[in-house]
A and B are shown apart, each in its own frame.
Chain A
Amino acid sequence: MTSTTEILRETAARLLASGAVEMVIGFRQGTIPMMNEPCFVRKPAEAGLLVWDSHCGINLANYVTDRKEKKIGIVAKGCDSRNLVTHILENKIRREQLVVIGVPCRGMADKRKIAMKCPGEILRVHETETAITAEGEGFTRTFEKADVLQHNCSLCTHRNPVIHDELAGEPVEEQQGVDRYADVRAVEAMSPEQRWKYFEDLLAPCIRCYACRNACPLCYCPTCFVDESRPQWVGKGQDPVDVRTFHFLRAYHCAGRCTDCGACERACPVGINMRLFTKKLEKDCLELFGWEAGLSLEVRPALDHYRPNDPNDFIR
């Protein structure tokens, strides 16, 4: 069987050699275990840099925002492709600029989960189709991939790219019967006081590095509201009120747009699950408007238009 990596390299080399694209955006082997780095290749000879494994979690749609190249090849798993759709709908890139090299995805590994399950520092990792093996000084641990997926990947119902011009591998079976919102329902069931406290604890470690915001392909505003000075919407310090305002408003700006790609949570250096906020909005969008972001280039997003059957009665 040909590996995804090989197909990607062959596809990238072919697209670059034929002049179909000026660059291909993908991943190269990282410098530490369980980490690959987004990169670009411009020459067919460089296509050998590209890799694919369970550590390609970063959402590459982030890297095409406002790019000027006429033709860009981009490697896209399910969530990346949904964010490309959103990018196209929001005029951050044109469909004609993209040659989407879709990768059917079986989910990305959660490196923290794996690290927590190992007795020491992980020095080497390798994987098969269904298992990941981590090795360190004096230990070897093998995990079923399904047990160490990122939380969002374990709940993912759109693993196959929704748009693609090339496909690196056979489509995978989509997960059925997934309960996507158990965590959100648990928070919804809390009293306002409990909820206040819960979020206070959740956000306490935040250092406001904005990795969550910047890792998110949706956050492309030239000046983010937290950086505005006239008026200054939110204080810049570590006061919990400012931290909370930042996280809530950031989430609201993703309403009806978030694909739960997990970029924010993965990027966070202090392990905050801020996906809880965006998932609540995602759940509401689904329940109120039957809307899931980034599935179609034809349908306008839920927050983008009005329908007479809007469930909110105050608006009629």
Chain B
Amino acid sequence: MRNPYQPYPVRIDAVTVETEDRNLKTFRFTFLDPGDEERFAYRAGQFAELSIAGKGEIPIGIASSPTEKGFVMFTVNKVGLVSSHLHTMRAGDVMGIRGPLGNWYPWERMEGKNVVIIGGGFAFTTLRSSIVYMLDPQNRGRFGEIHVIYGARTPGMLLYREELAAWERRDDIRMHITVDATNDPGWKYHVGFVPAITEKKAPPAGEDTFAIICGPPIMIKFTLPVLEKLGYPNDRIIMSLENRMKCGIGMCGRCNIGKEFVCKDGPVFTLEQLNRTPREY
């Protein structure tokens, strides 16, 4: 019997400060036992528990893509005990990763379809994973148009800025980057909240278009009506949820919404599923 609570030992390979407030850092890990990388085979949209002996564990979405080999990557916001400690750790330090956990975006259902990715703030991590996954030369042909609407408070709060710029230059993905406000005269993208940009830029709704939405509650609250107004059917609106978690495997009992566990039956749900269940998230 494999112990599902046992993390794979990993070494921090690189740490990158992502945002101007320095509260978001991206950690790249390599597995101490190379065989563990295969055992950690994951899909875009899944998460893992980052495990630090003496501090505890935190569930974090996987920011790297399954198409990126040799490492896994997580972007962590400094909030609580574990994440604050993680922010003090450096390349070379040893810790654990437990996963992959949860379900993933419905890649099979989305094959051959247009995908619009709507993200806000630091909830862009599994969305990055998804974009990198779809843009992989092996995969790009399996999807229709790809739109990305991504917003942050200021330009300095956007994650993965170099990659965003690189995607802007491509012609097989339509980027709509926005910030709430900026006094940077050189800012050449949108200014405005994500729901407003979504209303203007989201591709037309239809059977062939999926929206993946991930962001702070307030953004989701105001973006959902926009998508509904645009005519997106509830089973084409895909959301990724967060709840307090401990076990990550559907056993400890805290992250449920109705009978579904966010950690095991989610974190990815369609709006149609969420409408049928108490929304305790």
Contacts and interface: CB of A to CB of B under 8 A. Distances in A.
> Within the complex, are A and B direct neighbours (CB within 8 Å)?
yes
Interface of A: 229-230
A229 B85 CA distance: 13
Nearest to A229: B81
Nearest to B84: A230
A141 to B, nearest CB: 43
Interface string B70-88: 0000000000110010000
5 contacts: A229-B80, A229-B81, A230-B80, A230-B81, A230-B84
Contacts of B81: 229-230
Contacts of A229: 80-81
If over half of B's interface residues share one DSSP class (helix, strand or loop), that class is named, otherwise mixed; here it is helix
Contacts of B80: 229-230
Contacts of B84: 230
A229 B84 CA distance: 12
A232 to B, nearest CB: 8
Interface of B: 80-81, 84
B208 to A, nearest CB: 47
A229 B81 CA distance: 7
B84 to A, nearest CB: 8
A225 to B, nearest CB: 16
A40 B81 CA distance: 40
Nearest to A231: B81
A236 B84 CA distance: 21
A230 B55 CA distance: 11
Q: Which 5 A-B pairs have the closest CB atoms?
A: A229-B81, A230-B81, A229-B80, A230-B80, A230-B84
A147 B210 CA distance: 73
B1 to A, nearest CB: 25
A230 B82 CA distance: 10
A229 B80 CA distance: 9
A218 B81 CA distance: 29
B52 to A, nearest CB: 14
A28 B80 CA distance: 43
Nearest to A230: B81
Nearest to B55: A229
A230 B84 CA distance: 11
A230 B81 CA distance: 7
B206 to A, nearest CB: 47
A60 B80 CA distance: 36
B81 to A, nearest CB: 5
A229 B244 CA distance: 15
A230 to B, nearest CB: 6
B56 to A, nearest CB: 9
Contacts of A230: 80-81, 84
A209 B172 CA distance: 58
Nearest to B56: A229
Nearest to B82: A229
A160 to B, nearest CB: 45
A265 B84 CA distance: 40
B193 to A, nearest CB: 32
B25 to A, nearest CB: 19
A273 to B, nearest CB: 32
B79 to A, nearest CB: 11
B100 to A, nearest CB: 26
A83 B84 CA distance: 40
A109 B84 CA distance: 51
A128 B36 CA distance: 74
A1 B80 CA distance: 62
A283 B84 CA distance: 44
A220 to B, nearest CB: 23
A304 to B, nearest CB: 33
A253 B71 CA distance: 50
B85 to A, nearest CB: 10
A211 B80 CA distance: 28
A250 B247 CA distance: 30
A209 to B, nearest CB: 16
A92 B127 CA distance: 46
A229 B58 CA distance: 14
A287 to B, nearest CB: 42
B126 to A, nearest CB: 26
B221 to A, nearest CB: 25
A227 to B, nearest CB: 13
A229 B246 CA distance: 15
A226 B80 CA distance: 17
B161 to A, nearest CB: 31
A93 to B, nearest CB: 29
A145 to B, nearest CB: 44
A230 B56 CA distance: 13
A56 to B, nearest CB: 34
A39 to B, nearest CB: 25
Nearest to A232: B81
A301 B138 CA distance: 74
A73 to B, nearest CB: 33
A230 B83 CA distance: 12
B87 to A, nearest CB: 14
B280 to A, nearest CB: 20
